[in-house]
Amino acid sequence: MYDPSALEWIAAAREAWEKEAQKVEQREVETSSGIPLPLVFTPLDVADLDYARDLGFPGEYPYTRGIYPTMYRGRIWTMRQYAGYGTAEETNRRFRYLLDQGQTGLSVAFDLPTQMGYDSDHPLAEPEVGKVGVAIDTLADMEALFQGIPLDRVTTSMTINATAAILLAMYIAVAEKQGVPPARLDGTTQNDILKEYIARGTYIFPPRPSLRLVTDMLQYCATHLPKWNPISISGYHIREAGATAVQEVAFTMLNAITYIQAALEAGLDVDTIGPHLTFFFAAQMNLFEEVAKFRAARRLWARIMRDRFGAKDPRSWKLRFHTQTAGAALTAQQPENNVVRVTVQALAAILGGTQSLHTNAKDEALALPTDESALLALRTQQILAYETGVADVIDPLGGSYYVEALTNEIEKRATELIQRIEESGGMLSAIETGIIQREIAESSYREQQRVERGEKIVVGVNRFRQEEAASYKILKVSPEVVERQKANLARVRSERDGARVESALRALGDAARGTENLMPLILDAVKAYATVGEICDVLRAVFGVYRPVVVL
């Protein structure tokens, strides 16, 4: 704590300084969360901060400064580049290319039909096959996706939600074919279905049966995949939909609380699942607000787990998170500017203590990244890691009056927002009635209005524009992909044991009508080469299909 006499001197000095500063006309400034910013911060702005409790040391509760004692001095963050397009064979080539260039973890993007539970030959699927990710219909595709990649020597992150249980089952089956037991698999399935109803839209079933699938995965992984993270609770897509930094933290924490409550009701122990919960956040453009956001989220999670849920294992208190630079901040105008944006965002994630990082490519506002732009995005991380010194000291901005004041304010506002939503009936109710969606839509609208009025400058968009756009090489997915994928699917259907598939699907449907854990049944169906669409159709017949709330 600061000495009271020193604070009195600072207060008097600031009063005199403010009189001079007020003589000069100045603009009002606030963060994306509406936090007003004075011209300068002083010890007075953090005078009530208990340094022994709230700041402390890295690796110590409440982990404001990082969850590990040595952070990047012990090990640099995992460098993941999100990749996936076309067929499994094409994406496998991209994986191998990035691994050869020094990437240290795989991150899989799936196409929309795979995310929505439709096979590539479904009429609704055909226009989107392989477009925004890799097309996966059966175990045969998953085998091709990881051909030649030893699954006991890489960590794999899969951005998949409604069909997460199916894709994880396929991953387990591929590993077993490689001779790798499930207990040795290391990675993460996103599996955060609640944020799909809020911000992203790749849901299939209503929220409550979807929660059952999440809980089944938590339970199964706790028993069979001890190194696997069965869920990555995602603030990223909430932020991309237009949420503020405070909303990103609050709504992500509310989703996490809902998952924990569902797991506890299913009989799981908080310290059984706690160490396997991970998070996924966006890194936006306001460098200092983003650093403070990560620090506030870490501290808030530690308190939720220890004080609210009574977790005893310190591993349950530690917020481990992956960060992706903000796709919403990229512009189609002057794409080279995106290299600078991504660098600043990646720096914020690193200064905020992320455990793994994906840097977007400069051309992602135009199309899927080319090999060249994906490599440049990876090189951005490597330059930050090895040439800038930002990884030499833990939490280098810790103790900054500005950063500490922002950290406190974000935690305070996020806590108040969490309490308000819980008093209104909780997160599940707020999603079902559209409260959360409405709050994000309003924030997004306000931000867009700021851009259109010129209050927020976006270089190349509303200021410093160029009349003639340059021509850029972009990646185009071949129209032949859908035909190749349909041919592969037809071949698998003709070669598999139809009776075995029918039996596995019937058993899955029976289990879905009861309370049995569905993961073993899904795994049986996958090993029989049942398709993603066939498995989802069985579950659709039991669970129904979700119809979204219209937000007015």
The secondary structure of residue 184, as a DSSP letter, is G
Which of 139-153, 317-331, 355-369 is least confident?
355-369
For the chain, give the longest Cα–Cα distance. Answer: 85
Which of 310-324, 404-418, 475-489 is least confident?
475-489
**pLDDT at position 252, please?**
98
Task: Please compute the mean of the pLDDT values over residues 234-244 and round it to a whole number.
Answer: 97
**pLDDT at position 7, please?**
73
Distance of CA 57 to the CA centre of its chain: 26
Say if CB 507 and CB 526 are below 8 A apart.
Answer: no
17 vs 6: CA distance, rounded Å: 16
257 vs 303: CA distance, rounded Å: 12
414 vs 182: CA distance, rounded Å: 38
360 vs 367: CA distance, rounded Å: 12
**pLDDT at position 502, please?**
98
Give, in order, the Cα–Cα distances in Å from 80 to each of 356, 357, 533.
Answer: 7, 6, 29
- In this predicted model, which residue has the larger pLDDT, 12 or 279? 279
Angle formed by the axes of helices 207-224 and 532-543, nearest 10°? 130
Instruction: Give me the residues paired with residue 279 across strands.
Output: 233, 321
Given a cut of 50, is residue 182 above it in pLDDT? Answer: yes
Which of 367-371, 424-428, 504-508 is least confident?
367-371
Q: Which is nearest to 220 in space by CA: 522, 514, 442? A: 522
Say if CB 266 and CB 220 are below 8 A apart.
Answer: no
- In this predicted model, which residue has the larger pLDDT, 166 or 94? 166
Q: 326: which 2 tokens?
A: 């903000």
**pLDDT at position 466, please?**
87
Task: Please compute the mean of the pLDDT values over residues 308-337 and round it to a whole number.
Answer: 96
Say if CB 111 and CB 138 are below 8 A apart.
Answer: no
Cβ within 8 Å of residue 438, ≥6 positions away: 551, 552
pLDDT digit string, tens, across residues 495-551: 999 999 999 999 999 999 999 999 999 999 999 999 999 999 999 999 999 988 665
Domain annotation for the chain: domains and CATH numbers? 52-77+189-453 (3.20.20.240), 496-543 (no CATH)
Could you check whether the bond before residue 150 is cis, i.e. omega within 30 degrees of 0? no
Q: Supply the DSSP string of 459-499, one letter for each residue.
A: BTTTBS--SSPPP-------THHHHHHHHHHHHHHHHS-HH
Q: Supply the DSSP string of 293-318, one letter for each residue.
A: HHHHHHHHHHHIIIIIS---SHHHH-
Give, in order, the Cα–Cα distances in Å from 225 to each of 152, 161, 185, 186, 479.
Answer: 12, 18, 7, 8, 38
Beta strands in 200-306 (DSSP E): 228-229, 231-234, 277-283
**pLDDT at position 29, please?**
87
Q: 538: which 2 tokens?
A: 């069985």
Q: 13: which 2 tokens?
A: 């000095």
Say if CB 373 and CB 363 are below 8 A apart.
Answer: yes
Given a cut of 70, is residue 469 above it in pLDDT? Answer: no
Task: Please compute the mean of the pLDDT values over residues 164-184 and round it to a whole number.
Answer: 97
Q: At 326, is the secondary structure helix, strand, or coil?
A: coil
**pLDDT at position 132, please?**
87
Stretch (H or E) spanning 157: strand 155-159
Average pLDDT over all residues of the chain: 92
Count of CB atoms situated within 10 Å of the CB of 463: 10
Say if CB 466 and CB 334 are below 8 A apart.
Answer: yes
| 357 φ/ψ angles, rounded to the nearest 5 degrees | -150, 135
Burial (CB < 10 A; 0-12, 13-18, 19+), residue 498, is: exposed
Cβ within 8 Å of residue 243, ≥6 positions away: 199, 235, 251, 439, 440, 443, 444
Q: Supply the DSSP string of 26-83, one letter for each residue.
A: ----B-TT--B--S---GGGGTT--IIIII--TTSTT-TT-SSSSHHHH-PPEEEEEE
Establish how many alpha carbons lie within 13 A of residue 174's alpha carbon, considering only the half-sphere containing its beta carbon. Answer: 23
Owner of token pair 């007075």: 44
**pLDDT at position 52, please?**
44
- In this predicted model, which residue has the larger pLDDT, 55 or 220? 220
Give me the percent of the chain exceeding a pLDDT of 70.
Answer: 96
Q: Which is nearest to 198 in space by CA: 477, 432, 523, 449? A: 432
Distance of CA 271 to the CA centre of its chain: 22
pLDDT digit string, tens, across residues 90-115: 999 989 988 898 887 888 999 999 99
Q: At 384, is the secondary structure helix, strand, or coil?
A: helix
Count of CB atoms situated within 10 Å of the CB of 274: 22
Given a cut of 50, is residue 429 above it in pLDDT? Answer: yes
Cβ within 8 Å of residue 444, ≥6 positions away: 241, 242, 243
Count of CB atoms situated within 10 Å of the CB of 493: 18
pLDDT band at 239 (very low <50, low <70, confident <90, very high): very high
**pLDDT at position 524, please?**
98
333 vs 337: CA distance, rounded Å: 8
Task: Please compute the mean of the pLDDT values over residues 210-217 and round it to a whole number.
Answer: 96
Cβ within 8 Å of residue 375, ≥6 positions away: 98, 101
**pLDDT at position 240, please?**
96
Q: Which is nearest to 509 in space by CA: 487, 535, 484? A: 535
Task: Please compute the mean of the pLDDT values over residues 442-459 and round it to a whole number.
Answer: 94
105 vs 324: CA distance, rounded Å: 14
Q: 363: which 2 tokens?
A: 């051309």
Burial (CB < 10 A; 0-12, 13-18, 19+), residue 175, is: buried
Task: Please compute the mean of the pLDDT values over residues 296-306 and round it to a whole number.
Answer: 97
